[in-house]
Amino acid sequence: MTTPRDLLFVTLDETTADHPAEQGDVSLALAGAELLDLADARALTLDDDRIVPAPPGDLDDRMLNEAASSLTRQAPYESVEDWLWRRGRGLHAAYLAALETDGDITRQRRRWIPLRTDRTALPDSPARRHAAERWASGEPVLAALAAAVGIPDEPSEDLAGLTDETVVTVLAAVSEAVTELAAVRQRRSIEDAAFDNIWRGP
């Protein structure tokens, strides 16, 4: 059970078709969750906002092992922000695939379009129950990561218990990255609308 897996379960359980979490936002938050778990496992430390890796070791989770192996191991090392954008690319899909491999989710496909995934089903499993219990407890790190991707719609502002410098640094970087990505989406939407108006004419 890891923070990224718990976060993904929360996003799958707590979002709706009308208000889904953006996959890009979730990917950035998953990358941040990996950093926090790696720091908790002493696989890295932060020097200001630079990620300083520890000697490699087995973390008993293939996704975290993959994350640890991809850390930049030469000075001046990578910033938390750069890690989020690099590691986060496609991470939502990668974690979905990992959960599917472990049998914690299933993909329901239409018979006549076998390669198209219609929706994800969440069977009852120890991993899902663990995530639900952690979410229900209001555990502050998971709550803050979920809040960064808009879960719930009205997130609690009571995060004063987050005083660990590494945790605060990573969560701040995740929030800033998600905000930046939202701005990019909005700009593209405006540009697309303007392009459409040009072709429609007066």
Show pLDDT as tens, one digit a residue, over the chain (202 residues): 899 999 999 999 988 766 778 899 999 999 999 999 999 999 999 999 999 999 988 999 999 999 999 999 999 999 999 999 999 999 999 999 999 999 888 876 555 555 444 567 788 899 999 999 999 998 999 999 999 999 976 555 555 567 789 999 999 999 999 999 988 877 766 665 555 556 555 5
Residue 128 burial (CB count, 10 A) = 20
Number of domains in the chain: 1
**In Å, how far are 19, 157, 201 from 2, measured between CA atoms?**
25, 24, 53
Euclidean distance between CA atoms 125 and 117, whole angstroms: 21
Residue 139 belongs to what domain range? 3-200
Angle made by CA atoms 136, 138, 141, in degrees to the nearest 5 = 125
Evaluate whether 9 touches 128 at the Cβ level (below 8 Å).
yes
pTM of the model as a whole: 0.86
